[in-house]
Amino acid sequence: MQCQTVLPGAECTFWSKKGCIFEGNSCQLVIDKCQGCERVVEGSIGQVCSVAPSPEQKWKSGLCNFATHQKIEIKSVDAKVNPLKASKKAAGGKKK
């Protein structure tokens, strides 16, 4: 249903016929770590997150998984030689 308080008109899974059913009956403000994230929007109570009602909780166990400004560095395996390609290459080399 559409929020009618913090982000009026925005579709939200926490809005019910009884109003906002999230903790404290409202979204919570973004935290410092959210600064720079594209999901920060201006709500009626200040800056809130457009996808997570509680930014603080999103950062509790490390990096927020919805953050657009920070990403977990995933070490690329591309740098390593693909063992399958390497063995094919080696096999091909032997034929010559």
- Between the CA of residue 95 and those of 56, 85, 87, what are the distances in Å? 61, 15, 13
Site for ligand SF4 in 43-72 (CB under 6 A): 49, 51-52, 55, 58, 64, 66-67
Applying CB under 6 A, which of residues 7, 12, 20, 40 lies at the interface with ligand SF4?
A: 40
Token readout for 23 is: 């903790």
Token readout for 30 is: 């973004």
d(CA 76, CA 96): 32
- Between the CA of residue 52 and those of 13, 26, 43, 57, 95, what are the distances in Å? 10, 11, 13, 9, 58
| Closest separation in Å from C-beta 11 to ligand SF4 | 16
Nearer to ligand SF4, 15 or 55 (CB): 55
Q: Establish if 6 lies at the interface with ligand SF4 (CB under 6 A).
A: no
| Closest separation in Å from C-beta 1 to ligand SF4 | 20
Write out the residues near ligand SF4 by the rule CB under 6 A.
30, 34, 37, 39-40, 49, 51-52, 55, 58, 64, 66-67
